[in-house]
Chains A and B, each alone.
Chain A
Amino acid sequence: MTAVDMPQATISPVTELDALESESIHVFREVAAEFERPVILFSSGKDSIVMLHLARKAFAPAGVPFSLLHVDTGHNFSEVLDYRDATVDALGLRLEVARVEDYLADGRLRERSDGTRNPLQTIPLLDAINAHRFDAVFGGGRRDEERARAKERIFSLRDEFGQWDPRNQRPELWSLYNGKHKPGEHVRVFPLSNWTELDVWSYIAREGIALPSIYYAHERDVFERDGMLLAVGPYSQPRSGETVERRVVRYRTVGDMSCTGAVASTASSPAEVVVEVAASELTERGATRADDRVSEAAMEDRKREGYF
Chain B
Amino acid sequence: MSTTQAPQAGDLAQALAGTHAEADLAQLAQRRLLRLATAGSVDDGKSTLVGRLLHDCKAILADQIAHVQTVSEARGGDFDFALLTDGLRAEREQGITIDVAYRYFATDKRSFILADCPGHVQYTRNTVTGASTADVVIILVDARHGVLEQTRRHLAVAGLLRVPHVVLAVNKIDLVGYDEQVFRGIAKDVSELADQLGIADVQAIPVSALVGDNVVDHSASTSWYDGPTLLEFLESATGRSDASGQPLRFPVQYVIRPQTDDEYRDYRGYTGTVASGTVSVGDPVIVLPAGRRTSVAGIDRAVITATSTAVEERPAAVAGEAVTIRLADDIDVARGSVIVAADSSPGTRRELSATVCWLSDRPLSVGARLLIKHTTTTAQAIVTKINGVLDLDTLGVIDAAGLDLNDIGKVQLKVAAPLAADPYSSNNITGSFLLIDAHDGWTLAAGMIDEEEGELL
From A51-59, A213-221, A235-243, give the one contacting chain B.
Answer: A51-59
A151 touches B322 (CB 8 A): no
**A interface bracket (residues with beta carbon within 8 Å of B):** 35 or more
CB of A107 closer than 8 Å to a CB of B: no
Query: What's the nearest-Cβ distance from chain B to residue A124, in Å?
Result: 25
Distance A26 CA – B272 CA, assembled complex (angstroms): 7
B12 touches A281 (CB 8 A): yes
Nearest chain B residue, comparing its CB with the CB of A279: B21
CB of B77 closer than 8 Å to a CB of A: no
Query: What's the nearest-Cβ distance from chain B to residue A153, in Å?
Result: 9
Q: Contact check: which of A9, A17, A181 meets B238 at CB < 8 Å?
A: A9
Nearest chain B residue, comparing its CB with the CB of A150: B101
CB of B240 closer than 8 Å to a CB of A: yes
CB of B220 closer than 8 Å to a CB of A: no
Distance A297 CA – B373 CA, assembled complex (angstroms): 35
CB of B71 closer than 8 Å to a CB of A: yes
Nearest chain B residue, comparing its CB with the CB of A142: B104
Q: A60-B311, A171-B129 are in contact. Are A271 and B25 (CB under 8 A)?
A: yes
CB of A182 closer than 8 Å to a CB of B: yes
Nearest chain B residue, comparing its CB with the CB of A24: B322
CB of B321 closer than 8 Å to a CB of A: yes
> Which residues of chain A in 238-288 are interfacial with respect to chain B, using CB atoms and an 8 Å cutoff?
271, 274-275, 278-283, 286-287
Distance A178 CA – B86 CA, assembled complex (angstroms): 25
Q: A3-B195, A167-B99, A280-B61 are in contact. Are A26 and B434 (CB under 8 A)?
A: no
CB of B257 closer than 8 Å to a CB of A: yes
CB of A104 closer than 8 Å to a CB of B: no
Residues on A with C-beta less than 8 A from B195 are: 3
Query: What's the nearest-Cβ distance from chain B to residue A270, in Å?
Result: 10
**B interface bracket (residues with beta carbon within 8 Å of A):** 35 or more
Residues on A with C-beta less than 8 A from B322 are: 21-23, 25-26, 29, 58
CB of B8 closer than 8 Å to a CB of A: no
CB of B207 closer than 8 Å to a CB of A: no
A181 touches B441 (CB 8 A): yes
Q: Contact check: which of A12, A182, A196 meets B104 at CB < 8 Å?
A: A196
Residues on A with C-beta less than 8 A from B132 are: 173-174
Residues on A with C-beta less than 8 A from B432 are: 173-174, 176
B359 touches A22 (CB 8 A): no
**Interface code B380-411, partner A: CB below 8 Å = 1, 0 otherwise?**
00000000001000010100000000000000
Residues on A with C-beta less than 8 A from B88 are: 147-148, 151, 166-167, 297, 300
From B222-230, B242-250, B284-292, B341-349, give the one contacting chain A.
Answer: B242-250
A202 touches B29 (CB 8 A): yes
Q: A148-B87, A148-B88, A202-B28 are in contact. Are A286 and B16 (CB under 8 A)?
A: no
CB of A100 closer than 8 Å to a CB of B: no
A62 touches B257 (CB 8 A): yes
Sorted nearest first, the 8 A-B pairs with minimum C-beta distance are A180-B441, A147-B87, A286-B63, A3-B198, A60-B302, A278-B20, A279-B21, A62-B258
A13 touches B302 (CB 8 A): no
Query: What's the nearest-Cβ distance from chain B to residue A32, in Å?
Result: 5
- 9 A–B contacts from the bound complex (CB under 8 Å): A3-B197, A4-B425, A21-B322, A26-B273, A58-B302, A166-B88, A174-B428, A180-B441, A283-B64
B429 touches A61 (CB 8 A): no
Nearest chain B residue, comparing its CB with the CB of A282: B63
Residues on B with C-beta less than 8 A from A11 are: 32, 34, 238-239, 241-242
CB of B233 closer than 8 Å to a CB of A: no
Nearest chain B residue, comparing its CB with the CB of A151: B99
Query: What's the nearest-Cβ distance from chain B to residue A304, in Å?
Result: 9
Residue with the highest number of chain B CB atoms closer than 10 Å, among A20, A33, A157: A33
Q: A148-B87, A173-B443 are in contact. List 13 more A-B contacts (CB 8 A).
A: A1-B197, A3-B198, A9-B164, A10-B242, A33-B335, A150-B87, A169-B99, A172-B129, A175-B133, A275-B25, A278-B23, A279-B20, A281-B9
Q: Contact check: which of B31, B106, B156 meets A15 at CB < 8 Å?
A: B31
B441 touches A18 (CB 8 A): no
A13 touches B318 (CB 8 A): yes
Residue with the highest number of chain B CB atoms closer than 10 Å, among A9, A25, A58, A287: A9
B307 touches A7 (CB 8 A): no
CB of A6 closer than 8 Å to a CB of B: yes
Residues on B with C-beta less than 8 A from A90 are: 306-307
Residues on B with C-beta less than 8 A from A9 are: 164, 238-243
B310 touches A15 (CB 8 A): no
CB of A97 closer than 8 Å to a CB of B: no
Distance A79 CA – B109 CA, assembled complex (angstroms): 38
Residues on B with C-beta less than 8 A from A110 are: none
Q: Contact check: which of B13, B101, B254, B433 meets A32 at CB < 8 Å?
A: B254
CB of B39 closer than 8 Å to a CB of A: no
Q: Contact check: which of B32, B71, B160, B373 meets A296 at CB < 8 Å?
A: B71
Residues on A with C-beta less than 8 A from B89 are: 296-297, 300-301
A58 touches B271 (CB 8 A): yes
> Which residues of chain B in 280-337 are interfacial with respect to chain A, using CB atoms and an 8 Å cutoff?
300, 302-304, 306-307, 309-311, 318-322, 324, 335
B395 touches A170 (CB 8 A): no
Residues on A with C-beta less than 8 A from B240 are: 6, 9
Residues on A with C-beta less than 8 A from B318 are: 12-14
A173 touches B320 (CB 8 A): no
CB of A193 closer than 8 Å to a CB of B: yes
CB of B253 closer than 8 Å to a CB of A: yes
Query: What's the nearest-Cβ distance from chain B to residue A46, in Å?
Result: 15
Residues on A with C-beta less than 8 A from B170 are: none
Nearest chain A residue, comparing its CB with the CB of B239: A11
Residues on B with C-beta less than 8 A from A58 are: 271, 302, 322
CB of B365 closer than 8 Å to a CB of A: no
CB of A81 closer than 8 Å to a CB of B: no
Nearest chain B residue, comparing its CB with the CB of A13: B318
Query: What's the nearest-Cβ distance from chain A to residue B118, in Å?
Result: 11
Residues on B with C-beta less than 8 A from A166 are: 88, 90, 98-99
Residues on A with C-beta less than 8 A from B45 are: none
Q: A271-B25, A278-B23 are in contact. Are A150 and B63 (CB under 8 A)?
A: no
